[in-house]
Amino acid sequence: MRLRSKRAWRAVRRAVFWGVLGLGLIGARPASAQDFSGKTLVVGVWGGDIERLIREHVVAALEKETGAKVELLLGGTGDRLAKIYAERTHPTMDVAFLNIYESPQALKDGVVDAPDPSAPYYKTIWPGMNNGCYAMSLNGLGIAYSKKLVTSPPEWADMWKPAYKGKIALPPYPGSEDDGVLAVAARLAGADEHSADKAFSKLAELKPIATTYTSLDQVFGLMGSGEVAMAPMIGGYAMAALKKDPDIGFVYPKSPGPVLVRDMLCLVHNSPNPELAKKFAALALGVELQTAYATELYFGPTNMNVKVPPAMANDVIASPEQVKSLLTLDWPYIITQRAAWTDRWNKEILGD
Amino acid sequence: MPLSRLLPIIPLAPACLLMGVMFLLPFGMVAVTAFWGQAPGSWLVDEAFTTRNFARILADPYFVLVIGRTLRIGVEAAVICLLLGLPVASVIVRARGQVRGLLLVLMLLPMVCGALVQTLGMLNLFGLAGVVNGALKQLGLIDRSIRFLGNETGVLLGLIQAFLPLMVLPLVTVLGRIPPDLPAAAASLGASRLRVLQRIMLPLAGPGIAAGAILVFSASVTSFVTPQILGQGHVQMFGPLVYQQAALVLDWPFASALCVVMLAALALAAALLAGVARLAARPRA
């Protein structure tokens, strides 16, 4: 009994000590900084290099400035969408990174907040890009290819050459990459994404699809072993990986031009920490992270003040002029077709 | 009710509560959600009553096909596991002491690492860039990889590999209870081997066979990781289909309706399977 009370005393003393120390530290902060210690900002984001850069350039600074903790919840866009929709009335996530076409839908459904034109970080983004949420990065859908099997940088139409039959890999549907591929297929068939029949019948000519790839390592491995010749892919990821593998190439095709895709930063509606979320947005959309995105991941910056090194100008989409050369799809239409096209994809592209 | 009659029920309460909160309640919610929908142009759930989801499932042969294929693969997995599991179980039963323990541990070991690790192992072995294809290429036997996966055989192999212990364990239990002299005694009274199997062994092993079959079948038809990875999108089964609808298309009401239809089909199939097993195990007059 005595032992226990002794232990309890020690615990209390320790708590008081740390508490006083903590208070002292907080007191030592500059008076202007708002105190968020004890709060945890939850950010849903992709893993890998994106996570690393956000940790290095945003999380560290934000935690230091505010005393709050930042928790990065890693996963795909689908995981985050499901979470913010399911928790619509009691969200636990504050910031969610979504894709170009899901963010307007999320705004329409009231699960994210509309971008605030008066926010300073709104104004540094190229005009017209904050659709639904804040534009985070610019990217194009191009073709990654095995240099062993494809000797010169391919055009979209080359995917349909008999030599590559059964050697085209596609990502899982639904997703913006596959919707981009469908839109390209429709254009090669003389139509556009509004003609689903033409898109699907053209794309079905690629059957059998070599594999549905879920990771870059997987598809690059298959390219290395000669089992996959080409795979439509978001440029940034592919070009960052090129450095590691001399046998893999990546090209932004010209006819039609690469499909524009965009990562968006969304502030979750009614989130537990709206002020912290805005501070996070300011840092994430700022010059430092966007420069790192461009130089390390080849993700095009949306912030007008970012200077892309001239040597990278051809690989990184960095200006509204470059965006104009890209193919912009009717994403609001495509998003309404998601359920129907998922059924068609299962049956017509993957089925026998 | 007197306390003495209530007492035996009290230890059951935590389990019942757990089942209620973790299974019945969520499933009740799924069953209700199945009769909701989505407003046009929105991913939000619209709580107005509708049977539209069920009409869509029944009207589109694709969904019926996927459910049918899933049930068929479940039955195939159960039958093959039974055929593979019987000899394994008899060997384990006949083994003595430590050897028996060792064999059981070896049997269970794959289950410890879980379906994901096993499935990824299969992928590394049988994938297009896997060990088997690599070896065949090195030997000069093939110049283009053979597609072992991305078809029903690949998925079935993965399921059997993952769930065989679910069949062997109940078989070991029932076979272990049959006195070793019993078949010999029957034979000495003039029963043929077939007759011994039919009238002695099967009826006694029946409950174990039924339990194993139901376990393997249920685990197979509800599995997600194995068909997702080994099917590579080409073999659509129920688990990945529901994941796609719920997590990617975000149509929860439709995903819920798929679950309700599947559960109904599953209950029917399990009852049928149990009935067949019981019939097979019944001593004939």
Write the burial class of residue B44 (CB in 10 Å: 0-12 exposed, 13-18 middle, 19+ buried): middle
pLDDT value at position A165?
94
**A9 and chain B in contact, CB less than 8 A:** no
Q: Considering only CB atoms, which chain A residues are within 8 Å of B251?
A: 339
A7 domain residue, yes or no: no
A19 domain residue, yes or no: no
pLDDT value at position A7?
59
Q: How many domains does chain A have?
A: 2
Shared domain check, A230 and A336: yes
A225 and B60: CB-CB below 8 Å?
A: no
Dihedral of the alpha carbons of B140, B141, B147, B152, in degrees to the nearest 10:
-150
Largest separation between any pair of C-alpha atoms in chain A:
87
| Residue B275 in tokens | 């009935």
Q: What pTM does this model have?
A: 0.83
- What are the Cα distances from residue A160, in Å, to A198, A202, A229? 15, 9, 11
Tally of CB atoms within 10 A around A287: 15
User: Which of A78, A85, A343 is the closest to B248 by Cβ?
Assistant: A78
pLDDT band at A225 (very low <50, low <70, confident <90, very high): confident
Does residue A199 carry a pLDDT above 60?
yes
Query: Could you tell me which residue, A71 or B280, shows the higher pLDDT?
Result: A71
A212 and B232: CB-CB below 8 Å?
A: yes
Shared domain check, A307 and A197: no
pLDDT value at position A30?
46
Does residue A13 carry a pLDDT above 70?
no
Task: Return the closest-CA partner of residue A233 out of A154, A187, A180.
Answer: A180
Query: CA A137, A139, A142 angle in degrees (round to 5)?
Result: 170
List, in order, residues 6 or more apart from A130 with CB less than 8 Å away. A115, A122
Phi-psi region of A259 (alpha: psi -120 to 50; beta: other; left: phi over 0): beta
Give the residue numbers spanning the domain of A270: 32-137+262-318
Shared domain check, A185 and A60: no
Residue type, B251: D
User: Which of B128, B249, B251 is the closest to A222 by Cβ?
Assistant: B128
Percentage above 70 pLDDT, chain A: 90
List, in order, residues 6 or more apart from A206 with CB less than 8 Å away. A159, A160, A165, A168
Q: What is the CATH number of the domain that holds A119?
A: 3.40.190.10
Does residue B245 carry a pLDDT above 90?
yes
pLDDT band at A322 (very low <50, low <70, confident <90, very high): confident
pLDDT digits (tens, 9 = 90+) for B27-56: 999 999 999 999 888 899 999 999 999 999
Give whichever of A52-66, A239-253, B184-198 has the largest mean pLDDT.
A52-66
Query: How does the average pLDDT of chain B come out, rounded?
Result: 88
A1 domain residue, yes or no: no
A210 and B234: CB-CB below 8 Å?
A: no
As a whole number, mean pLDDT of residues A58-62 equals: 96
pLDDT digits (tens, 9 = 90+) for B108-152: 888 888 778 888 888 889 888 889 988 998 998 888 888 888 889
Does residue A23 carry a pLDDT above 60?
no
Mutate to test the interface with B, among A346, A348, A349 (most CBs of B within 10 A): A346
Q: Considering only CB atoms, which chain A residues are within 8 Å of B249?
A: 174, 338-339, 342
Does residue A32 carry a pLDDT above 60?
no
B233 and A209: CB-CB below 8 Å?
A: yes
Does residue A20 carry a pLDDT above 80?
no
CATH superfamily to which B61-281 belongs: MetI-like (1.10.3720.10)
**Interface subset of B 116-145, CB within 8 angstroms of A:** 128-129, 133-134, 144-145
**Interface subset of A 266-325, CB within 8 angstroms of B:** none
A47 domain residue, yes or no: yes
Radius of gyration of chain A (CA): 23
Asked, as a colleague might, if the bond just before B207 is cis with ω within 30 of 0, I would say no
Does residue A300 carry a pLDDT above 70?
yes
Query: What CA–CA distance (Å, rounded) separates B217 from A182?
Result: 38
pLDDT value at position A17?
54
CA-based nearest residue in chain A for residue B235 = A351
A51 domain residue, yes or no: yes
Shared domain check, A335 and A187: yes
A82 and B42: CB-CB below 8 Å?
A: no
A187 domain residue, yes or no: yes
ipTM over 0.90: no
pLDDT value at position A206?
95
Q: Considering only CB atoms, which chain B residues are within 8 Å of A339?
A: 249, 251, 254
Residue type, A343: D
pLDDT value at position B279?
76
Shared domain check, A109 and A49: yes
Q: Considering only CB atoms, which chain B residues are within 8 Å of A174?
A: 244, 248-249
Shared domain check, A313 and A253: no
Query: What CA–CA distance (Å, rounded) separates A258 from A324?
Result: 11
Asked, as a colleague might, if the bond just before A256 is cis with ω within 30 of 0, I would say yes
Distance from CA of B40 to the nearest CA of A (A): 8
pLDDT value at position B265?
87
Query: What CA–CA distance (Å, rounded) separates B81 from B104?
Result: 16
pLDDT value at position A36?
87
**Interface subset of B 6-45, CB within 8 angstroms of A:** 41-44
A211 and B42: CB-CB below 8 Å?
A: no
Which DSSP helix (H) or strand (E) runs through B28? helix B25-33
Distance from CA of A112 to the nearest CA of B (A): 13
pLDDT value at position A264?
95
**A75 and chain B in contact, CB less than 8 A:** no
Shared domain check, A343 and A244: yes
pLDDT digits (tens, 9 = 90+) for A88-98: 999 999 999 99
pLDDT digits (tens, 9 = 90+) for A118-169: 999 999 999 888 989 999 999 999 999 999 999 999 999 999 999 999 999 9
pLDDT value at position B184?
86
User: Which of A78, A109, A343 is the closest to B247 by Cβ?
Assistant: A78
SS3 annotation, chain A: CHHHHHHHHHHHHHHHHHHHHHHHHHHCCCCCCCCCCCCEEEEEECCCHHHHHHHHHHHHHHHHHHCCEEEEEECCHHHHHHHHHHCCCCCCCCEEEEECCHHHHHHHCCCECCCCCCCHHHHCECCCCCCCCEEEEEEEEEEEEECCCCCCCCCHHHHHCHHHCCCECECCCCCHHHHHHHHHHHHHCCCCCCCHHHHHHHHHCCCCCCCECCCHHHHHHHHHCCCCCEEEEEHHHHHHHHCCCCCEEEECCCCCCCEEEEEEEEEECCCCCHHHHHHHHHHHCCHHHHHHHHHHHCCEECECCCCCCHHHCCCCCCCHHHHHCCECCCHHHHHHCHHHHHHHHHHHHHCC
Mutate to test the interface with B, among A345, A349, A350, A352 (most CBs of B within 10 A): A350
A342 and B248: CB-CB below 8 Å?
A: yes
Shared domain check, A167 and A124: no
Q: Considering only CB atoms, which chain A residues are within 8 Å of B250?
A: 78, 81-82, 85
Query: What CA–CA distance (Å, rounded) separates B161 from B164?
Result: 6
A16 domain residue, yes or no: no
Domain boundaries, chain B: 61-281
pLDDT band at A28 (very low <50, low <70, confident <90, very high): very low
A26 domain residue, yes or no: no
pLDDT digits (tens, 9 = 90+) for A266-297: 999 999 999 999 999 999 999 999 999 999 99
pLDDT value at position A2?
46
Distance from CA of A109 to the nearest CA of B (A): 6
pLDDT band at A68 (very low <50, low <70, confident <90, very high): very high
Query: What CA–CA distance (Å, rounded) separates A155 from A43?
Result: 38
A175 and B246: CB-CB below 8 Å?
A: no
pLDDT digits (tens, 9 = 90+) for B74-114: 999 999 999 999 999 989 998 988 999 999 999 888 888 87
Query: What CA–CA distance (Å, rounded) separates B105 from B107?
Result: 5
- What are the Cα distances from residue A210, in Å, to A154, A203, A219, A350, B231? 18, 13, 10, 10, 12
pLDDT value at position B6?
79
pLDDT band at A14 (very low <50, low <70, confident <90, very high): low
Q: Considering only CB atoms, which chain B residues are within 8 Å of A346?
A: 62, 236, 241, 244
- Check if the beta carbon of residue B176 is closer than 8 Å to that of residue B159: no
Query: How does the average pLDDT of chain A come out, rounded?
Result: 88
Shared domain check, A280 and A240: no
